[in-house]
Amino acid sequence: MSVTQRSPRAGVIGYPISHSKSPIIHGAWLQRYGVQGEYTAIEVRPEKLESFLRNASREGFVGVNATIPHKEAALALADEVTPLARRIGAANTISFEGDRILADNTDAFGFLENLKDGAPNWRADSGPAVVLGAGGAARAVVAALIDAGAPELRLANRTRSRAETLAMDIGGPISVIDWPVAAEAMDGAATIVNTTSLGMKGQPPLEIDLSAAPDDALATDIVYVPLITPFLERAQARGLRIVDGLGMLLHQARPGFERWFGRTPEVDDELRHLVLGEGG
């Protein structure tokens, strides 16, 4: 059959999909490494997700990234789910092997690799972590920090019950903090992460007092538009080390590319500039 002879296809599925940066990232790697393959943005309506995933292999797809609103549904439809994806409750990297659908989550990996890249001396086990927000992205961040050895994780979310559910699902030394007193949780913190949508272009800023944070704490944001969010500006003004959120997006793409196209891709400044629309 001609399909089996085609070069491998991959892509990103979402609804809507036009904002996804994944085609830029994978496209740059395909070109850089001279890989015969394709990676495209594919709009898949929620009601079409199951038929898309079931037919993908026959259409020549080796895998897809899943983005909003498919991350949870893709997990539920998969034949095999990695323990980490199950714990996070969402899949962003789907592979097709024969007629089997395999679901993984690489957001936790992307989060940690970004910190290793941006702050090589940073260690999760050097002290308590503070995580602000308990939405979808927070689940991967919390799992990453706990698994990397954070001795204590202080989780604050506007809606407290959501933080409590997250803490139960992920497990580990997590204490839930009330949102209005989150600033107190900065005392002794080694790592401070914004996972809320506050500070994103068009959203109000995250206004949190960082004065109680130790001088050597690291602050990072999962928001990357703008690259330096008001929260990171605040952290910088306080003298803390900061790592922006773009690298999480770039690094989470690596395992999928490697699995689908057989090359270990690199994240570098050229790719960062390309994704920011500053060159290439």
Residue 71 is among the residues annotated as catalytic for this protein: yes
Q: Is 268 helix (H, G, I), strand (E, B) or coil?
A: coil
Q: Are 220 and 189 in contact (CB under 8 A)?
A: no
Q: Name the residue nearer to ligand ATR (CB basis): 159 or 264.
A: 159
Q: Name the residue nearer to ligand ATR (CB basis): 204 or 214.
A: 204
Q: Is 247 in the site for ligand ATR (CB under 6 A)?
A: no
Q: Which two tokens stand for residue 6?
A: 């085609």
Q: Is 274 in the site for ligand ATR (CB under 6 A)?
A: no
Candidates 48-56, 151-159, 169-177, 212-220; binding stretch for ligand ATR (CB under 6 A)? 151-159
Q: Is 157 in the site for ligand ATR (CB under 6 A)?
A: yes
Q: Which two tokens stand for residue 136?
A: 């979808």
Q: Is 171 helix (H, G, I), strand (E, B) or coil?
A: coil
Other Cβ atoms less than 10 A from the Cβ of 83: the count is 9
Closest approach of ligand ATR to the CB of residue 137, in Å: 4
Q: Is 161 in the site for ligand ATR (CB under 6 A)?
A: no
* Phi, psi angle pair for 183, to nearest 5°: -60, -30
Q: Are 61 and 73 in contact (CB under 8 A)?
A: no
Q: Is 162 in the site for ligand ATR (CB under 6 A)?
A: yes
* Nearest CA-CA partner of 10 in 95, 85, 77: 95
Distance CA 39, CA 61 (A): 9
Q: Is 136 in the site for ligand ATR (CB under 6 A)?
A: yes
Q: Is 185 in the site for ligand ATR (CB under 6 A)?
A: no
Say which residue the tokens 């920011």 belong to. 276
Q: What angle do CA 225, 232, 165 make, to 5 degrees?
A: 80
Q: Is 134 in the site for ligand ATR (CB under 6 A)?
A: yes
Distance CA 15, CA 42 (A): 9
Closest approach of ligand ATR to the CB of residue 226, in Å: 16
Out of 117, 164, 197, 212, point to the residue binding ligand ATR (CB under 6 A): 197
Closest approach of ligand ATR to the CB of residue 117, in Å: 22
Q: Name the residue nearer to ligand ATR (CB basis): 37 or 89.
A: 89
The residues assigned a catalytic role are 71
The residues of the shown chain that bind ligand ATR, judged by CB under 6 A, are 133-138, 157-159, 162, 195-198
